[in-house]
Structure 1
Amino acid sequence: MDKEMNYGRDYKFIPATSVGSGVGIEVLPDLYCYTNQIVNIIFVGEPEAGEFVLVDAGMPHAAEEIISETEERFGRNSRPKAIILTHGHFDHVGSIIELVDHWDVPVFAHELEFPYLTGEKSYPEPDPSVEGGMVAKVSPLFPNEPINIGNYLEKLPSDGSVPHLPDFRWIHTPGHTPGHVSFFREKDRALLAGDAFVTVKQDVLYKVITQELEISGPPRYFTPDWKTAKESVITIEQLKPEVAVTGHGLPMSGELLSESLAKLVREFDTIAMPRYGKYVDHEIQ
């Protein structure tokens, strides 16, 4: 393993799960959503084509599971062309070092995420005081120190294109993190939203476990800039996506998606934004 690469000292297995854990859903022929504990990773590419990318990299200590699922879908010894990140929180990069070491593939992220992926800067600490349920209360257990992906890390192109995914473009959707991005494909209006919004109330333990479908803003305990997060949801709604895969919860499509997103925009301050918490009234630099 590349000696330059390392996780934060606080990275560890997090014993959180959901009924969806270990389940894969073929959302479209070339979009496969797989739930690793409580977070979704997405394979983009049709199995028979042989070429695909992986969006996000799951929870800590999940590399074997992710490699196994990759080979189940794409064949023995298959590997993606790249790993592309929506952002760098621990549940989206938890197994990335083992994966790039195994596959020897580049990792693409927005340049504003680089400090958190090159060992320079920790994310703001999770907020256990925020309005929400049990997951918010235990969020101090979640890793927030930076990781270092070393020479594997590359910037997403400034023109909005996505390497190895010519039909997609990336859209800057910050608020949850400074360099958070979502991915959109015009031809079928498919959206990979990351945590810009989610389809399960991520801070409520019961709903995380049962994966109860409910549109929500980004996870409350890990979102330091609510003004910008709201602007990102407005940007996404204006794309009029037909199908969305989010970082947490089940895929959503059609009328349910369009109506839910419109409602989230209209009622963001009550649906998404917590009434109290240390990041509610001021943003963290």
Structure 2
Amino acid sequence: MENEMQYSKDERFIPVTSVASGLGQQVGEDIYCHTIQVVNICLVGSPEHFILIDAGMPESSDEILSIVKERFGEGSRPKAIVLTHGHFDHVGGIIELINEWNVPVYAHELELPYLTGEKSYPAPDPTVEGGMVAKMSPMFPNEPINLSDHVQALPSDGNVPEMMGWRWIHTPGHSPGHVSFFREEDRSLIVGDAFVTVRQDHLYKVLTQEKELNGPPRYLTTDWEAAWKSVRTLQQLDPSVAVTGHGVPMAGKELKEGLERLSSEFNSLAIPDYGKYVDKDKLN
């Protein structure tokens, strides 16, 4: 069938978790952040009108369906699924969710080849400077998922379908079509993996969710120059709160000072000293 969806050929359950797995946190009036193993999904909106941002780790669809039922009631479904990007830990339950809900999926146009079976992401880099998770990264899926005609490009004008008041911002580096979402009214920011609040390459910090504002996960980031520009772009928005793809939400003075430091010292704080996607000379 032309519109048949398929997970990547290397799709598999990844046996990593954290102390935050299964826990959720309300952020403001209408943002709910929930951790599945080591990655966050977001529900944005009200029971009458909400969207899902990202779709969790492989084999997480049942948990996501349960979360939606618990939050919004039996039979509830989002108006859309919106993706920050298409890495395995952000699309892990998406096919079952599409089949259950029959809702549209949106992503940046540069991310579509990785979501329609056309192109694999660059392989994770186990040689990058970092901890045990970086060394484990070859086991992570990087071949493309195929959502066929169930996924479409975000509007070019920056609006986000079904998310009134929000706009998407292109924040590449971690992936070519990575996007973050910003609401001017209350300066809420949903970051994806443009920056995170836990060192995602260190197993102990992942397990304990030790809070630390840092750059995108090292083992899957392939364009560090673009990643730095993306952090500068987000820092200039002066967000009041940020919900990241990994780690806990951060707000207020802690977020402001952390982002200012990361933006100005990205080369030393975020960019690894070595790795196959690292060219420190180019970035000095």
TM-score normalised by L of structure 2: 0.97
Q: Paired residue for 2:34? A: 34
Match of 1:151 among 149, 152, 158: 149
Alignment equivalent of 2:183, drawn from 182, 185, 189: 185
Q: How far apart are the structure 1 equivalents of 2:263 and 2:26?
A: 28
Quick check: 1:2–1:101 contact (8 Å CA) kept in 2?
A: no
Q: Which stretch of the first structure deviates more once superposed, 147-156 or 52-61?
A: 147-156
1:46 CA drift (Å)? 2.5
Q: Tell me the CA shift for residue 278 of structure 1.
A: 0.3
2:222 aligned with 1:228:
no
CA-to-partner distance for each residue in 1:77-106, whole Å, 9 max, x for gaps? 100000000000000001101110111000
Q: Which moved more, 1:2-11 or 1:223-232?
A: 2-11
Question: SS of 1:6's equivalent?
Answer: coil
The answer for the alignment partner of 1:20 in structure 2 is: 20
Displacement of 1:275: 0.2
Question: 2:111 matched to which residue of 1?
Answer: 113
Q: Which amino acid aligns with 2:139?
A: L
1:132 corresponding residue in structure 2 = 130
For 2:45, the equivalent position in structure 1 comes to 45
Aligned length: 281
The answer to whether the 8 A contact 2:35-2:41 is kept is yes
On the 8 A contact 2:125/2:134 being kept in 1, the answer is yes
Amino acid at match of 1:5: M
SS at match of 1:245: strand
Contact 2:169/2:179, CA 8 A, preserved across alignment: yes
Partner of 1:195 in structure 2? 193
Q: C-alpha displacement at 1:152, in angstroms? A: 1.1
**Does structure 1 conserve the Cα–Cα contact (< 8 Å) formed by 2:105 and 2:150?**
yes
Offset at 1:141? 0.3
Distance 1:75 1:151 in 2: 29
Q: Which residue matches 2:259?
A: 261
TM-score by length of 1: 0.97
Deviation at residue 151 of structure 1 after TM alignment:
1.6
Identify the residue that residue 59 of structure 2 maps to in structure 1. Answer: 61
Correspondence 1:277 to 2:275: yes
- Which amino acid counterpart does residue 44 of structure 1 have in structure 2? V
Of the three residues 74, 77, 102, the one matched with 1:76 is: 74
- Map Cα deviations across residues 26-74 of structure 1 (whole Å, 9 max, x no partner): 0112000000100000000123xx2100000000001001000001001
Q: CA deviation at 1:3?
A: 5.9
Deviation at 1:2, TM superposition (A): 8.4
Q: Secondary structure at the match of 1:65?
A: helix
Tell me, what secondary structure is at the counterpart of 2:49? coil
Q: Is the 8 A contact 1:87 1:109 kept in 2?
A: yes
Runs of 4+ in 1 over 6 A off after TM superposition: none
- Structure 2 distance, partners of 1:166, 1:207, is 36
Q: State how far apart, in whole Å, the 2-side matches of 1:203 and 1:271 are.
A: 13
What is the match of residue 215 of structure 2?
A: 217
Aligned twin of 1:239: 237
Question: Any unmatched runs of 5+ in structure 2?
Answer: none
8 Å contact from structure 2 (residues 3, 149) kept in 1:
no
Q: Percent identity?
A: 65
Match of residue 94 from structure 1? 92
